[in-house]
Amino acid sequence: MAARRCEHGAVTAPPATGARQEPGLSQLRGRRGLITIAVTVLVSLLLLIPIGAVLQIVLTAQFDDRTPTQAIVVMDPTRVWGHDPAVLAARTDHAAELYRSGVAPVIMLTGRARTAAAERVLLLARGVPQQDIVSFTTTMDTLGSLQMIAAVLGDLGWSSATIVTDPPNAARAAAIASGFGIDAHLSPAEAGPGSAMTSDYVGRETAALLRYYLISRWTQPKLVGAAS
């Protein structure tokens, strides 16, 4: 197209005939880029959260903390293992060993009365004196059992406890106990079917630990060391 001459004789260029940049196109692309980044970060976090929970479970299962405390707490095995005698025996054996080692002067039993009665018989057979064994009828879940123990410790003015449970359950037990204000030390049972870090057991504990962090933790009262 020929150049046009204006009234004053100046020559002006013809209008461009190529593709034009649409108004706001760059802003639209920028928004899409930000959305893509946000979605990528969100998906990455959703993947990292369960991975972090699994790592917490696996690492905590390796602990055998024998720091002296005020009580040894034996978690009830009924919830997951259906009162498996081998699991119950492994936990009481470990608790008796901790008691004989001077970790704590008393053993606290949780769960149903029938389970606690069976544990008491095993502990007596392993040399733990009757007066140093106390039991509390609690729910069969980790949260309910530790809530009862935390209330008892708070009433006694105690703050620390050594928790005996299965290795896969140790991370959740520690998190829940700490949420109640207990100075929790973990010493999982080293024998029995419950001590195996199976994919099934770890998977269930991962789901339970995430549920605790996302839901239960926010309504959990501090029962030990709370201001009077």
What is the tens place of the pLDDT at every residue in 8-64? Answer: 555 555 555 555 555 566 665 666 666 666 666 555 565 557 788 899 999 999 989
The CA distance from 77 to 85, in Å, is 9
pLDDT of amino acid 115: 87
What is the per-residue DSSP string for 107-121?
A: EEE-S-HHHHHHHHH
pLDDT digits 0-9 by tens, 144-166: 999 999 999 999 999 999 999 99
Q: What is the pLDDT of residue 127?
A: 96
Q: Could you give phi then psi for residue 195, rounded to 5 degrees?
A: -85, -5
81-135 residue pLDDT tens? 445 788 889 999 999 999 999 999 999 999 888 888 999 999 999 999 999 999 9
More confident residue, 121 or 76: 121
The residues, any chain, with a CB within 8 Å of residue 43's CB and separated by 6 or more, are none
The three-state secondary structure class of 161 is: strand
pLDDT at residue 228 above 50? no
In order of their start, the domains of the chain are 60-219 (3.40.50.620)
CA distance 212 to 93: 29
Q: What is the pLDDT of residue 43?
A: 55
Say whether 215 sits in a helix, a strand or coil. Answer: coil
Torsion angles phi and psi, residue 203, rounded to 5 = -65, -45
Reported pTM = 0.77
Q: What Cα–Cα distance (Å) separates residue 1 from each residue in 4, 7, 12, 13, 15?
A: 9, 19, 12, 9, 9
pLDDT per residue over 193-204, tens digit each?
A: 888 899 989 999
What span, in angstroms and rounded, lies between the C-alpha atoms of 156 and 138?
18
- CB atoms inside a 10 Å sphere around CB 139: 15
pLDDT at 213: 92
Half-sphere exposure (Cβ direction) of 154: Cα atoms closer than 13 Å: 18
Q: For residue 48, what pLDDT is reported?
A: 58
DSSP lists the bridge partners of residue 95 as none
Give the pLDDT of residue 31.
Answer: 67
Among 187, 79, 210, CA closest to 138: 79
Q: What is the mean pLDDT of the chain?
A: 84
Cα distance between residue 193 and residue 166, in whole Å: 9
Give the phi and the psi of residue 187 in degrees, each rounded to 5. -140, 85
Can you tell me the distance from the alpha carbon of 167 to that of 58, in angstroms, rounded to the nearest whole number?
8
